[in-house]
Amino acid sequence: MKRIVLLFVLLVYVQVLRAQEENSVDPSMEEASAVRVIDSHLCHFKKPLQDPTDEDDDQYCDCDVHNTPMGLPEVQIDCRKHQLADGFWQEYEQLPQGTIRLDLSQTGLTVVPRLSGENLRYLNIGHNQITTIPDKVFTNVSLLEELDLSSNRIETLTTDALAGLSKLTRIDLSGNLIRSIEVNAFSNALHLKQLTLSNNTLGTFFIRTDLYLRLGVTNRLAILEMERCNLTDINLSSGVGLETARLGYNPLQQLTNLPKQLAHLDISGTPIRSLSAKFLPHLLHLVTLELKDMPILYTLEEYALYGLPRLSNLNLQGSRNLSSIHPHVFGQNVDRGETVTKLERLTLTGTNIRTLNSTLQAAFEKMRRLDMRGAPLRCDCQLRWLRELPNLQTLGICVKPNAVRGLTFGMVESHQFECRAEQFWIYTVFNVLLAILLIVLLSIGIVMIARAIRPKPHVQLRKVGASSPYARVTIEPNRAEVL
């Protein structure tokens, strides 16, 4: 009996509890969602989905509500520089309805917050102290398109770290401590277009690993950034969709495995002394080539830029030691006019280029802008061809020869581009003429003097000799007496 009574009491109790629960949830659905919105830890909504209060000193982030043309509210949350301690994050954080953008950079995070929001497109958790990305941590923000994890202390990326992010188009992992990435880490991100891995020590890792075949990056990837990764080489031949590769500031030895349709390549800061014909493969679609700030580059060798028929923008800015560009740098076909280059902009700012061989003229036919500011230009006869190119905007100042020192390249008239050899020749001719003139004058002078002197003794002797032959004899003793 006692047991039955106890069971009954329990049942009643449960019923009462349920009733209470129902009562608390009962009010209309609107209010339920409003309650959810007001409950946000990040924004302080006084009324549901109205622009929340925004005071600098409160514990809330800056939240903005906009209405889309469709009438739906969109929330953008900016928590930058708010110190949200890890304890702030509960089990998981339900974002206010309509949150499309959340910036949690520089908030002192040490773990990835577990967020839930079905509209979130952009998430920035960069510039924090995050060390690991737990598996599947982003599964409740599955519409995320851009994820910024830069400047943290992440050491590795696991296979499931990005699980569920099938809409991801951009991810920034730069400035972390990543040395290895697990197999298929990117294979969920089927729409990934831009991958940034700069400032991670991944050089040794990518000697053995293929970004595409092993890590699951797809051909949709258009932009790859891997600057300052200690890369010596990388095989990107499977990246048939790749358009832009930024691989600067790596100790690259060569780059022969680049996809053929690459349009923009940046290998600035590569510590090579000489760009040889073997360094780059033939890239038929390459438009831009950046070779800025190459610390020890001093020459572009013969054929170094051969096989780049679409190249229109070449930038060598700040490669301070660059002093020579081989006359056949684009290959001899171009020099002979058999093929044309598309080169339109050449930047030689801050290089050590003094002159350019006139053989390059064929390659410069399409050139519109040549920036040589800061280069120690020798504006002599060898550079005259450049001054005479039509439709070319030049920037730069002549340093030599003295006659044109300090003048803007484009302001020096073409006939002023003179060589010392030329001047020397004129002077020599002038000097020779002067010497001949002098000799002629001198000889005339001598002849005249000789004529003036010679006849006198001749005539006197004859006179003396003819009229009085004794006179001479009488004079001589007189002279002897005087002496």
Give me the residues paired with residue 218 across strands: none
Long-range contacts of 279-284 (CB under 8 A, 24+ apart): 279/254, 279/255, 279/304, 280/255, 280/256, 280/304, 280/305, 280/307, 280/308, 281/255, 281/256, 281/257, 281/307, 282/306, 282/307, 282/308, 283/258, 283/307, 283/308, 284/260, 284/308, 284/309, 284/310
Q: Nearest distance from residue 157's CB to ligand NAG, in Å?
A: 16
Q: Which residues bind ligand NAG (CB under 6 A)?
A: 92, 114, 116, 136-137, 139-140, 151, 174-175, 198-199, 201, 203-204, 210, 213, 228, 230, 232, 235, 237-238, 257, 296, 320-321, 327, 357, 359, 382
Q: Nearest distance from residue 290's CB to ligand NAG, in Å?
A: 16
Choose between 67 and 110: whose C-beta lies nearer to ligand NAG: 110
Choose between 64 and 93: whose C-beta lies nearer to ligand NAG: 93
Q: Nearest distance from residue 164's CB to ligand NAG, in Å?
A: 9
Query: Are 321 and 296 contacting, i.e. CB atoms less than 8 angstroms apart?
Result: yes
Choose between 201 and 339: whose C-beta lies nearer to ligand NAG: 201
- E strand spans, 178-231: 180-181, 194-196, 223-225
Of all residues in this chain, which one has the CB nearest to ligand NAG in the complex? Answer: 175
Q: Nearest distance from residue 230's CB to ligand NAG, in Å?
A: 4
Q: Nearest distance from residue 14's CB to ligand NAG, in Å?
A: 25
Label residue 289 left, alpha or beta by phi (over 0 means left) and psi (-120 to 50 means alpha): beta
φ, ψ for residue 289, nearest 5 deg: -130, 120
DSSP class of 301: P
Give the count of beta carbons closer than 10 Å to the beta carbon of residue 382: 15
Choose between 73 and 117: whose C-beta lies nearer to ligand NAG: 117
Q: Nearest distance from residue 332's CB to ligand NAG, in Å?
A: 9
ω into 401 cis (within 30 of 0):
yes
